[in-house]
Structure 1
Amino acid sequence: MTENAEEVTVLLLAHMGTAAFNIYGQTICTGLKIPPRGSHHYTPLAEESVNTLRMKYRHLQLVIIDEISMVSVPQFDYINGRLQQIKGCSDTTYFGNVSILAVGDFYQLPPISPRTPLCLPRDDILMDLWNLFNVVELTEIMRQKDDVVFAQMLNRLRTRKRNEPISDTDMKLLQSRTVSGNHDNGLSAPDDAMHLFYRNDDVDDHNEKMLATLSTHIHTIQAIDIDQTGGRIIRRNEQPHKTTRKDRNTTLADELKLAVGARVMLISNVDVTDGLCNGVSGVFKEFDYQEYRQFC
């Protein structure tokens, strides 16, 4: 324990920026300086970087990890290795003797890449860190506690196995909440309701259509790519670099179309502590063009 309230004794972490913001914490990558796409083998931090974390977390006693279902086996191993390095412990002292409280539901989203959930048994016992944990299952549903029928249906879908048929009762309940174009069941969605699509091309098409419905001028902003090489920022090329969201090195498009009144969403973490994280949406209010700094 420490008498200084500024000392970090409990560290709140989550895989995604939105979840980290909701618990007033940080992403796993930011909090422990773990690369977003780390290799399958742990790479220690340089001494200067790890010294900074040692000072910051010298009184750390507990790490709480939310949405544990999205944490992959290699990332969990990274957390173990980073805490061992920070605390100066051996490989046999798991998580640097820091207590870990992991919260989540393994029936929910699995890790994106690699798809190696912690709850599945591993052949390599050294990588099977999850076996070190005691599991406490929470059985009381709180979010839908006032609608028992709906809650029970959701739980049946949650535990349903692949190719297992959905009962007629559950299917009718789901269909009763379907919003269709002709509104036969009396349901209608607001015109500005958020749409979810499987493919990025469908997202782009829908965004174009929604922008066209606005009565304001549409501004097209071209991307300017920069590289940080040799300690200085240089212009990669004079023309915007053509990228796609299939490019593993970026989630950004080569151009951005905006208009006053358009709904916008961040697709990358900017400042999690300020709520500017992946998935946060808002409405564009105005343009303020200023002369931008020229990089050389």
Structure 2
Amino acid sequence: MFLTGGAGTGKSHLIKAVYYEATRILARILPNPDDVSVLLTAPTGVAAFNINANTIHSTFSIAIDAQLPYQPLGEEKINTLRSKLSSLQILIIDEISMVDKKLLGYVHGRLRQIKQTGDQLPFGGVAVIGVGDFYQLPPVKGKALYVNSEGVDLWNDYFSIAELTEVVRQQDSEFAETLNVIRKRQKSDDLDAHVVTMLQNCETGEEGKGIHISTNQKVDECNIRKLHSLSSDVICINAQDLYRDPKTKKLVK
């Protein structure tokens, strides 16, 4: 299932509710109640941190530079995963818009290995809930999931949609609708005059403490100003980058 909705519709709250209730219910029927039956994951470290989860890559031992066709894990590594996730019933992937087709294919392959399914059941028979909003960030590289592809299409062929429509974060319905207009706006679309007016009325002229959304250069300038305002005694430390040479296995500067 694909669970979607705009900002403030309660996606993160629903994730936590599903995780809690499903874990509680499934614990009654598992041979070992402490086995992992429901798993929370996300494609990036920041997204995973927000829901107290792990990244998809670390959870399923998928290399950042993994390539197609699918490369199965060796027996030792897959047995380690199997010992942790053999009872897995539900996989929840937050910020699904940042997952590309290759990564979803690897999740499918890993779950089939873990579950040791001989048939072609998607994701080894594990129920997958993708949560997110395709109006938000796309994959850094690779094809977005909604793009049609030839052959088996894990996303378009198997996922149904459930959309949350009621904004619960904003009590002002007119302001909530304005935010939704901005969410769906194309670059070529002009904003209505009343939308522009509402946004301008939100300006106070004061220096806020909120997150700045701008170019990297302006964000860096803002961070430096804030740093200097906190302390006049600023010390610069030059970092050294080290990497391990794949041939000699030695650290190189």
Same fold by TM-score greater than 0.5: yes
For residues 146-171 of structure 1, what are the alpha-carbon distances to aligned partners after superposition, in whole Å with 9 as ceiling and x for unaligned? 11001111112222234121111111
User: Using the alignment, how far apart are the partners of 1:40 and 1:206 within structure 2?
Assistant: 41
The residue identity in structure 2 corresponding to 1:197 is S
In 2, are the aligned partners of 1:77 and 1:127 still within 8 Å (CA)?
no
Change (3 A) 1:6 1:81: same
State the 1:211 CA deviation: 3.8
For residues 234-281 of structure 1, what are the alpha-carbon distances to aligned partners after superposition, in whole Å with 9 as ceiling and x for unaligned? 3414xxxxxxxxxxxxxxxxxxxxxxxxxxxxxxxxxxxxxxxxxxxx
TM score, norm. by length of structure 1: 0.67
Higher helix share: 2
In 1, are the aligned partners of 2:37 and 2:90 still within 8 Å (CA)?
yes
User: Using the alignment, how far apart are the partners of 2:249 and 2:241 within structure 1?
Assistant: 10
Aligned residues: 225
- Aligned pairs for 1:105-116 (under 5 A) are 105-114=133-142, 116=143
Say whether 1:16 aligns with 2:44. Answer: yes
Residue in 1 that maps onto 2:243: 227
- Aligned pairs for 1:124-135 (under 5 A) are 124-135=150-161
Match of 2:212 among 195, 204, 214: 195
Say whether 1:177 aligns with 2:194. Answer: no
State the 1:176 CA deviation: 2.1
Residue in 2 that maps onto 1:30: 58
Residue in 2 that maps onto 1:61: 89
User: Using the alignment, how far apart are the partners of 1:71 and 1:118 within structure 2?
Assistant: 7
State the 1:204 CA deviation: 3.9
For residues 84-111 of structure 1, what are the alpha-carbon distances to aligned partners after superposition, in whole Å with 9 as ceiling and x for unaligned? 1111224722101111111112222211
Say whether 1:93 aligns with 2:121. Answer: yes
In 2, are the aligned partners of 1:226 and 1:233 still within 8 Å (CA)?
no
User: Using the alignment, how far apart are the partners of 1:231 and 1:61 within structure 2?
Assistant: 41
State the 1:222 CA deviation: 2.8
- Aligned pairs for 1:1-296 (under 5 A) are 1-90=29-118, 92-114=120-142, 116-122=143-149, 124-144=150-170, 146-178=171-203, 186-190=204-208, 193-199=210-216, 201-228=217-244, 234-237=250-253
User: Using the alignment, how far apart are the partners of 1:89 and 1:6 within structure 2?
Assistant: 23
Change (3 A) 1:188 1:206: closer
Higher RCO (CA-CA < 8 Å; seq separation 6+): 2
User: Using the alignment, how far apart are the partners of 2:126 and 2:31 within structure 1?
Assistant: 19
Change (3 A) 1:232 1:214: farther
User: Using the alignment, how far apart are the partners of 1:137 and 1:194 within structure 2?
Assistant: 27
39-48 or 221-230: bigger deviation: 221-230
User: Using the alignment, how far apart are the partners of 2:187 and 2:55 within structure 1?
Assistant: 31
In 2, are the aligned partners of 1:12 and 1:26 still within 8 Å (CA)?
yes
The residue identity in structure 2 corresponding to 1:167 is D
User: Using the alignment, how far apart are the partners of 1:23 and 1:204 within structure 2?
Assistant: 27
Considering only CA atoms, is the larger Rg found in Structure 1 or Structure 2?
1
Change (3 A) 1:235 1:19: closer
After TM superposition, the runs of 4+ consecutive aligned structure 1 residues lying more than 6 A away are 230-233
TM score, norm. by length of structure 2: 0.78
